[in-house]
Amino acid sequence: MNPRAFAQTFVAVLSLTGLGTIGYGQDKPIKKDLKITCVPKNINNPYMVTQSNGAMDACKELGEQGKVVGPSETGASAQVPYINTAITQRQNAILIAANDPNALVPYLKKAMEQKIKVVTLDSDTAPEGRSIFINQASAEGIGQSLVQTLAKAIGNSGDFAILSATPNATNQNTWIKYMQEELKKPEYKDMKLVKIAYGNDEDQKSFTETQGLLQAYPNLKGIISPTSVGIAAAARYISTSPYKGKVVLTGLGTPNQLREFVKDGTIKEFELWKPADVGYLAAYAAAQLCSGNIQGKEGETFSAGKLGNRTVGKDGVVLLGPPTVFNADNIDQFNF
Ligand code: RAM
């Protein structure tokens, strides 16, 4: 028997016997027609759109009723009405990329008291605000690799700044904490973080903040922007300024927003995971919670469709996987 025919027979036997989870198979039934509300940090950020689309794809695949609602501005208070509406509408689950670790917790607790399952994705709340957090990649790994990428490009020496999202964003603040940890290592003794600026994940504010950084710190050697909105705005500013080729820019961004700036040499390297997979995994986790197959306890394993089986880690965290590094050699292979 040729290898392909053997593999097909093997799969057929497994599915006949009900052994193993192959492809999209689930061991435990998932309820259909669940009402799942997805609340991104903001609705007009291409990253968030891709992430929410991933969640809606999973909902379609599972036969759930998914919808995406959210504010146009990033900020915890702007997300509150959407949580309250989800409660009134008796949704089964809320997926939320939290704009603040604590401010949303009382509202999410109220939702959970009404038997609504809460899954955070991309940006977490304190653990008591949700059952599961879908973590895009190891926060420590992101913090370390962003510092390492910049250090390599500037020869481990010089002033640099961080252009972040909102001052309260759980995800950016965690990554920055790990960047600061990494910077304590002796090999970075000649690198200095001079300023953390906040563009609030607004394009224009991020653009102006970049301009401000470069004017205020004429010796700046680099900027790390761990936000897809920030890095795209910073790249746009630098690409037509005298700083192009002089100031190194790296961070987290989407290939589609940064392609032209990689091609014109403004950015050499940046990284990201697949935002659609973050959303997809969150919707699966929510559907599994609503079906009573998992509770969000450490060690529980669940099927997440095309992503395979996932295990709930400490504090209800489910990890998507390692990010991809993008540069001129590979960027054309990606379309998101
Ligand atoms: C922005 C948001 C999001 C973050 C990405 C990298 O789109 O701040 O939360 O994960 O950047």
What pLDDT shows up at residue 251?
Answer: 98
Distance (angstroms) between ligand 1 centre and the Cα of 226 equals 7
Q: Is the pLDDT of residue 169 over 90?
A: yes
Residue 323 alpha carbon to ligand 1 centre in Å: 13
**pLDDT computed for residue 23 by the predictor:** 35
Segment 187-199, tens digit of pLDDT: 999 999 999 999 9
pLDDT at 27: 73
pLDDT tens digit sequence for 155-165: 999 999 999 99
CA torsion through residues 19, 21, 22, 28, sign: positive
Residue 12 reports pLDDT greater than 90: no
d(CA 132, CA 124): 9
pLDDT band at 26 (very low <50, low <70, confident <90, very high): low
Domain 139-272 has CATH 3.40.50.2300: yes
Q: Whose CA is nearest to atom 3 of ligand 1?
A: 227
Q: Which atom of ligand 1 is nearest to the CA of 275?
A: 10
Domains 18-136+275-320 and 139-272 belong to one CATH topology: yes
Q: What is the pLDDT of residues 96-128, one digit of tens each?
A: 999 999 999 999 999 999 999 999 999 999 999
Write the pLDDT tens digit of every residue in 280-336.
999 999 999 999 999 999 999 999 999 999 999 999 999 999 999 999 999 999 999
pLDDT value of residue 120: 99
CA distances for 17 relative to 10, 14, 177, angstroms: 11, 5, 49
More confident residue, 51 or 1: 51
In ligand 1, the atom with minimum distance to the C-alpha of 251 is 6
Q: Is the pTM of the predicted complex or chain greater than 0.85?
A: yes
| Per-residue confidence (pLDDT) for residue 105, from 0 to 100 | 98
User: Phi and psi of 56, rounded to 5°?
Assistant: -70, -35
Average pLDDT score over residue span 213-238: 98
Residues with CB under 6 A from ligand 1: 41, 45, 47, 97, 122-123, 165, 171, 201, 227-229, 252
Distance CA 205, CA 28 (A): 47
Residue owning the nearest CA to atom 2 of ligand 1: 227
Domain boundaries, the chain: 18-136+275-320, 139-272
**pLDDT higher than threshold 90 for residue 8:** no
- The CA 75 to ligand 1 mean position distance, Å, reads 13
Instruction: Compute the distance from residue 257 Cα to the ligand 1 centre, in Å.
Output: 13
Rounded distance from Cα 228 to ligand 1 centre (Å): 5
Give the nearest ligand 1 atom to 123 CA: 9
Find the 155 Cα to ligand 1 centroid distance in Å: 28
b/e map 197-232, b = 16+ CB within 10 Å: bbbbbbbebbbebbbebbeebeebbbbbbbbbbbbb
Give the whole-angstrom CA distance, residue 201 versus residue 164: 8
Q: What is the mean pLDDT of residues 139-149?
A: 98
Q: Identify the sign of the CA torsion 48, 50, 54, 59.
A: positive
Q: What CATH number does the domain located at 18-136+275-320 have?
A: 3.40.50.2300
What confidence tens digit (pLDDT) does each residue in 40-54 have?
999 999 999 999 999
Q: What is the pLDDT of residues 232-289, one digit of tens each?
A: 999 999 999 999 999 999 999 999 999 999 999 999 999 999 999 999 999 999 999 9
Taking the CA of residue 45 as reference, the ligand 1 atom at the shortest distance is: 7
Give, as one character, the DSSP assignment of residue 237.
Answer: H
74-101 residue pLDDT tens: 999 999 999 999 999 999 999 999 999 9
One-letter amino acid of 73: E
